[in-house]
Structure 1
Amino acid sequence: MAMDAQGPAPRLSKPSWKDPRLLIGILLVLAAVAGVVALVGSAGKTMPAYVAKDALVVGQKITADSLTVVQVQLGDADGKYLDPNDPLDDTAVAIRIVPKGELVARSSVGKTDALDRKPASVSIDEALPKEVVVGSHVDVWVALPDERNGYQVPILMLPGAEVAALNVSASSLGSGKNMQLMVLVTDTQMPKFLGAVANKAKVSVVWNPGAAP
């Protein structure tokens, strides 16, 4: 009978706790678990932030009474919004319109000298389309009085002006009578517009959807 020239098959040895490969594998598993736990924990982390209690219009002074503190998940964007833990500047004003209930970004708040537009009052006697709301854009047309107790041809004085506020008296509901708007006007446009209003010009407002950014 032929003898098997091969020796006995080697047996696999049990891994030792001192085996560096085993230790590295355990460390990798622990690191992966720790990463998942950290990710889940950060995903559910909330922090305080300010929202506008009512709509903030350009030029409005920002105080604690203008704001409400809420808990939100901001992630990496937390530095973009006002932090309730930081004191409010006594000279802070809104330099952009912030709708009611919206988070207040740091870029929406500044000082008066940072304003590139200021709110000006516009009184009209015509009904406005429902699309004209705070934050929408309108063209403001002005017709100056003529020498025959009439009005000259209207001119477009404020193209694409942003609406900062709307005030409608109780008697004007449904008719547009005695409606007052606050529109944002640049320093360059302001003298000419105020001069037209002082000269009892007839003002008309037209919704301009194309002017929205």
Structure 2
Amino acid sequence: MTNWRGPGESGRTSAQRLRIRAWRDPRLLIGLLLVLGATILGARLAAASDDTVEYWSIRSDVAAGDAVNRDTLQATRVRLSSETKGSYLRTNEEFAAPLDDLVWAHGVSAGALVDKGALVRRSATMRSQLPLSVAEGAAPADLGRGDLVDVWVGPGPGDEPAGKARLVLESVRVIESGDDAAAQAGSLAQTVLVDVDKTQLRGSVVSTVAAGHVTLVRVS
């Protein structure tokens, strides 16, 4: 005669066996290993295919002759063609000199990569800063740093109109516009500082802008 143990105990035994078999099912283990392997392989392939390189770029606009400082530079990962990648400064390359001894050889706009010719030693730069006294109304009202201007010099409003205005400097960059300071001082003229190549600073240019009526025409 067989003893019947009741449905409760038999049900618990079957459920326990099912749970144990589910975790020990080799098909489940193989599936988990395949998923894990595919994830690792995908991550390695993605890392191998990332051929971007870190280059220096500019946070904000700089003008020729400005001092170079670390706050202006930021690292940017980009992918460049083989023809252009050698033209820009990588973050793992050494600067030509300590930053304190470097200036910008030419203006660079915010977001642009730093080309290898953009940074030069102070002693090697061929740039100068020329102050211009500009009367009220003889320059764009919204003239600002970074603008390119042509410098014309001619007779002033009260001078004899014998001479004609002539172009003495072409496409020079404004480093500083003194309109705010002039307005606070109540002056009718402002001092505009422009960046020029030293080869442009012939003696006649300096004397002409100092003695004549200067007019600035913005070209960019």
Question: Which of 30, 44, 51 is 2:57 aligned to?
Answer: 51
Deviations 1:71-111 (CA, angstroms, capped at 9, x unpaired) = 22224233211222234322222111111221110122222
**Aligned partners of 2:118, 2:147: CA distance in 1, in Å?**
17
Residue pairs, 1:75-90, within 5 angstroms:
75-76=81-82, 77-88=84-95, 89-90=97-98
Is the counterpart of residue 61 in structure 1 residue 67 in structure 2? yes
Aligned to 2:170: 160
Question: Which of 97, 100, 119 is 2:107 aligned to?
Answer: 97
Residue 82 of structure 1 aligns to which amino acid in structure 2? L
- Distance change in 2, residues 1:92/1:151 (3 Å): farther
Q: In 1, are the aligned partners of 2:150 and 2:171 still within 8 Å (CA)? A: yes
Greater Cα radius of gyration, structure 1 or 2: 2
**Aligned partners of 1:83, 1:103: CA distance in 2, in Å?**
9
TM-score when normalising by structure 1? 0.59
Q: In 2, are the aligned partners of 1:144 and 1:196 still within 8 Å (CA)? A: no
- Distance change in 2, residues 1:203/1:84 (3 Å): same
Aligned to 2:215: 204
- Distance change in 2, residues 1:165/1:204 (3 Å): same
Q: Count matched residues.
A: 166
Residue 64 of structure 1 aligns to which amino acid in structure 2? R
Structure 2 unaligned regions, length at least 5: 1-44
Aligned to 1:122: 132
Matched residue SS, 1:106 = coil
Q: In 1, are the aligned partners of 2:58 and 2:72 still within 8 Å (CA)? A: yes
Residue 204 of structure 2 aligns to which amino acid in structure 1? K
Question: Cα offset for 1:193?
Answer: 3.3
From the two aligned structures, give the one with the greater helix fraction: 2
**Aligned partners of 1:49, 1:183: CA distance in 2, in Å?**
30
Is the counterpart of residue 70 in structure 1 residue 80 in structure 2? no
- Distance change in 2, residues 1:136/1:145 (3 Å): closer
Structure 1 unaligned regions, length at least 5: 1-37
**Aligned partners of 1:151, 1:51: CA distance in 2, in Å?**
51
- Distance change in 2, residues 1:83/1:107 (3 Å): same
